[in-house]
Amino acid sequence: MKHNFYAGPSILPQSVYKQAQEAIENFAGTGVSLLSISHRSKEFSAVMERARALVKELLKLDDDFEVLFLQGGASMQFLQIPYNLMRSKSAYLDTGTWAFKAAKEARYFGEVDVVASSKDKKYTYIPKMYQIPEDADYFHITTNNTIYGTQMHAIPDSPVPIVADMSSDIFSREMDFNRFGLIYAGAQKNMGPAGTVMVAVRKSLLGRTGRDIPTMMNYQTHIDKASMFNTPPVFAVYGSMLTMEWVKNKGGLKAMEKINDEKSRLLYDELDRNPLFITHVAKEDRSKMNVTFDLKDDSLKERFDNMWKEAGIVGLKGHRSVGGYRASLYNALPLESVRVLVDVMKELERTA
C-alpha cells in the first residue's frame, strides 16, 4: 500500500474503497449496482438524506442551514454564490489562487472589495489587518489554501455573513460553524471522491437579491427538491456519505483535529529541525492539511525523490504553479505515512 500525500483527489479511508466496491456489485441489498439504480429509488434517496444529515451533524449546524450536494466543484460555486447572495457589493479576502478566482466571478454582479491580499509575498501568509465593509452582502474567505500551505487559524469577526470555501480543510477541526452564512467544499480532499461539491447555506440569506436566477444556479431549486432536482452525482455522494460515517465513527471532528495536530506537528518539527529543508509559510499561518517545503540545495532533489519513491510515497510534488514539495495530510492519511516521510528526511540528512 502506498503512502498517499496527493493534494486532491486524495486518500480516503480503506473502508470506503471496500464499501464502494461492494456497492458497485450489489447496492444496499438490491441486487443492482449503485451505478445502475434509479436515484429516485428509496435506497439511494436514503443515501442522499443520510449524507445531508451527516454534514449537519458533524458541523453541528443549526436549523437555518440547508445542505446540498451539487456539481461543478468549488469553481462553480465561485459563480453560484454571488448569483444567489450578492445584490451589488461583496467583500473577498485574497489568500491564494482559489480565493482570487472566487473574487473574479463576483465581478459579474457588481462591486467587489478585496479587503486584503497576501499576493505581495506569494501568498505565504494570511492577512490579518483589514476592514470588512458593512454594506457588503457577504465576506468571502478561503479557510485553507491548498496550493501555498496556509490556513486561517482564527475566523475574523465580520459585520456581514461570512462565506467560506473549506474545500481543503472541511471536517478537519472543531469550530463554531454556525458563525458562517455559507460553507462550501469540493469533495475530493476530506469528504469523498471527486464529482460533488457540498454547500451548506443559511435559508435566511436567500431570496434577497431581487434577481431572477436561472434554475440550476438557484440554491432554492435544489433546496426545494432535497438536492435531487436532477440526477445527482450518485457515486460521489455515496463515497462522501461513507467517508463522513467513518469520520463520525472515529470520534468526529474532535478526533480528526487531534490526529491532524499530531501529524502536522511531526512533519513541521522535522522541517524546522532538518537543515536540508526550508519552509516559506509564516509559522502562525501554517496549514495542518497541506505542508509545503523545499530542499535548500536543489542538487539533492534527484536523490530525495528516489528515496521517498522507494519508501512507497506518492503525491509529494508541489502544485505546478509554485513547484517544490507539498505533503497533504488529510483526515484519512495515517500517522504512519508521516513517520515514513520524516524517516526519509532524516535518512537524507544522514547520507547527504
Which residues would be at the binding site for a copy of itself (CB under 8 A)?
Answer: 1-2, 4, 6-12, 16-17, 20-21, 24-25, 30-33, 35-40, 70-76, 78-79, 101, 104-105, 108, 186, 188, 193-196, 212, 214-217, 229-236, 239, 312, 314-315, 320
Residue 227 corresponds to which amino acid?
S
Collapsed DSSP state (helix, strand, coil) of residue 223: helix
Q: How far is CA 87 from CA 90, 107, 203, in A?
A: 8, 11, 16
> Between 175 and 197, whose beta carbon lies closer to a copy of itself?
197
Q: How far is CA 133 from CA 34, 130, 143, 178, 284, in A?
A: 48, 10, 20, 21, 26
> Between 24 and 58, whose beta carbon lies closer to a copy of itself?
24
Q: Is 323 left (phi over 0), alpha (psi -120 to 50) or beta?
A: left
For 232-257, b/e burial (b = at least 16 CB within 10 A) is bbbbbbbbbbbbbbbbeeeebbeebb
Least separation in angstroms between residue 18's CB and a copy of itself is 9
Least separation in angstroms between residue 109's CB and a copy of itself is 10
Position of cell 521517498?
308
Strand runs labelled E in the chain: 3-4, 65-70, 89-94, 111-117, 139-142, 144-145, 150-151, 162-165, 180-186, 197-202, 277-278, 290-295, 313-314, 325-328
Least separation in angstroms between residue 40's CB and a copy of itself is 7
Least separation in angstroms between residue 50's CB and a copy of itself is 18
Least separation in angstroms between residue 194's CB and a copy of itself is 4
DSSP assignment of 4-55, as one string? Answer: E--SSS----HHHHHHHHHHHHSGGGSSS-GGGS-TTSHHHHHHHHHHHHHH
> Between 24 and 278, whose beta carbon lies closer to a copy of itself?
24
Residue 250 CB partners (closer than 8 Å, separation 6+): 256
Give ∠ CA 329-331-337 in degrees, rounded to 5.
50
Collapsed DSSP state (helix, strand, coil) of residue 253: helix
> Between 104 and 303, whose beta carbon lies closer to a copy of itself?
104
Least separation in angstroms between residue 26's CB and a copy of itself is 10
Least separation in angstroms between residue 225's CB and a copy of itself is 11
As given in the structure block, the three cell numbers for residue 312 are 512507497
Q: Is 291 left (phi over 0), alpha (psi -120 to 50) or beta?
A: beta
DSSP annotation of 286 = B
> Between 2 and 273, whose beta carbon lies closer to a copy of itself?
2
**Active-site residue list:** 98, 165, 189
> Between 181 and 195, whose beta carbon lies closer to a copy of itself?
195
Tell me how far apart the alpha carbons of residues 343 and 270 are, in angstroms, rounded to a whole number: 9
> Between 21 and 299, whose beta carbon lies closer to a copy of itself?
21
